[in-house]
Every structure is written in C-alpha cells, then in structure tokens.
Chain A
C-alpha cells in the first residue's frame, strides 16, 4: 500500500542555517505529494505541493522537488527563521483519491 517515510525529529537548527527534511514514498500509480506545516496551537496548513514528476513546489522560501526516480520529496530551505519552528508533515495522495497518507511528522525548532 501507499506509505510515506519521513525523517525523524526533532530537528534543532540555528537561525539562517540550511534545512533539509527528507521524505520518501511508496505508491501505486502516480501520487501527488505535499508538505503540510503545523504551527504551535494551530491546524495543518498546506505549505507546498507537486502533482507530477519533476515538479517543484515552493512557498515561503521552502522548496521540494518531486523525484520519481528516487521516490523522494525532500523539503529544503536555504535560511531558516525562528518563525519556521513548527511540525512538518510529508503526505501523498493518488489522483482521484482524496485520502491523504501522512508521514510521522518532523518537529523543527529554530534557535536565535
């Protein structure tokens, strides 16, 4: 079945550091891939998405590229800020199937 494997946390970085959170998936067919973010005390928000191979999703300085050959969708940001502290979830869904399969989440803490 479909699954998402995500880098275990927690991750602690200094402000302005480079961030990578790894995510790989297994799926039948051609899934759409997502990164969701959950800020403290809030619900999940879509951070970025990619719906086909080689697509790059980007938002708020974050990027992730849909790599079919490595079945990966790693999240990156060149210079993190304290306000990026949150839990990040990688997820997938197959076209026509609205069910989201989530990774375990990665808690990110940025220290000044």
Chain B
C-alpha cells in the first residue's frame, strides 16, 4: 500500500516556541491530507483538512492561528504549532487518501509525531 511519512517522530520544545511537523506521501500524490490529534487513551480528533494550493479547512473549535497548515506540494503538508504550550502536548497524526485505484479512497496514515511542550 501507499506510504505516508511524518517528521519528526518525536519533539520536545520549550513553552512559547513553534514546532513544525511534516507529512509526506512517499509514493503517491495527495491533493488532500488530514491532520489529527490523539489524546492519551482517547480517539483521534480531526483538526483540519489540508488542501494543496488553497487554504486549510479547520474543524470547529480548532484555532487556525495556533495550528498553521501549509500544503506546499502534492506530496507535502506541514503543521506548525505556534507559541506552543504544555496543553498542546499530544500525538499528531496525518493521513492522506490514495485516489489512484478505485472510487473508494483508502486513507493511509503517518506514524505520528509525539509533541511534548515543557
């Protein structure tokens, strides 16, 4: 199946700094990517839809100025957590649908990025 990578896998930063997380589709193009946040022992919460060449679409309650998303190319989306605070510590996961094969668009997930804000 298709492969999605994320970088870094783990990051620790000081409160007030910004952190950038990359999501790449390695062997397919993705005009759309999704960013999720996973809290400990909780489900995945969709944060936003990243759209290549246009603005991201944020879910209700997600601060777009806090979580900046840029879909710079057909294989790369970035999530920047600006002025990070300890409550932003979480596991961030991206996914991308592979539209090559059929009418059903299977989504492929990155391995996730563990963010810890001190």
Contact = CB atoms under 8 A, between A and B. Distances in A.
A51 B104 contact: yes
A43 B111 contact: yes
Contact of B105 (A98, A103, A104): A98
A32 interface: yes
B33 to A, nearest CB: 10
B79 interface: no
A82 interface: no
Interface in A21-59: 32, 36, 42-46, 49, 51
B109 A105 contact: no
B46 interface: yes
Interface string A89-100: 100000100111
A89 B107 contact: no
Given A32-B104, A43-B93, A100 B43 contact: no
A44 B103 CA distance: 22
B67 interface: no
Given A32-B104, A44-B109, A99 B46 contact: yes
Contacts of A101: 46
B111 A100 contact: no
B107 A100 contact: yes
The 10 closest A-B pairs by CB, nearest first: A43-B111, A44-B109, A43-B109, A104-B43, A102-B43, A102-B44, A98-B97, A105-B43, A43-B112, A43-B110
Given A44-B109, A99-B49, 19 more contacts: A43-B6, A43-B110, A44-B44, A44-B93, A44-B95, A45-B109, A46-B107, A49-B104, A89-B44, A98-B34, A98-B97, A98-B105, A100-B44, A100-B46, A100-B95, A101-B46, A102-B43, A104-B42, A105-B41
Interface of B: 1, 4, 6, 32, 34, 41-44, 46, 49, 93, 95, 97, 103-112
22 contacts: A32-B104, A36-B109, A42-B111, A43-B4, A43-B6, A43-B111, A44-B44, A44-B95, A45-B109, A46-B1, A46-B106, A46-B107, A49-B104, A51-B104, A95-B103, A98-B32, A98-B97, A99-B34, A99-B49, A100-B95, A102-B44, A107-B41
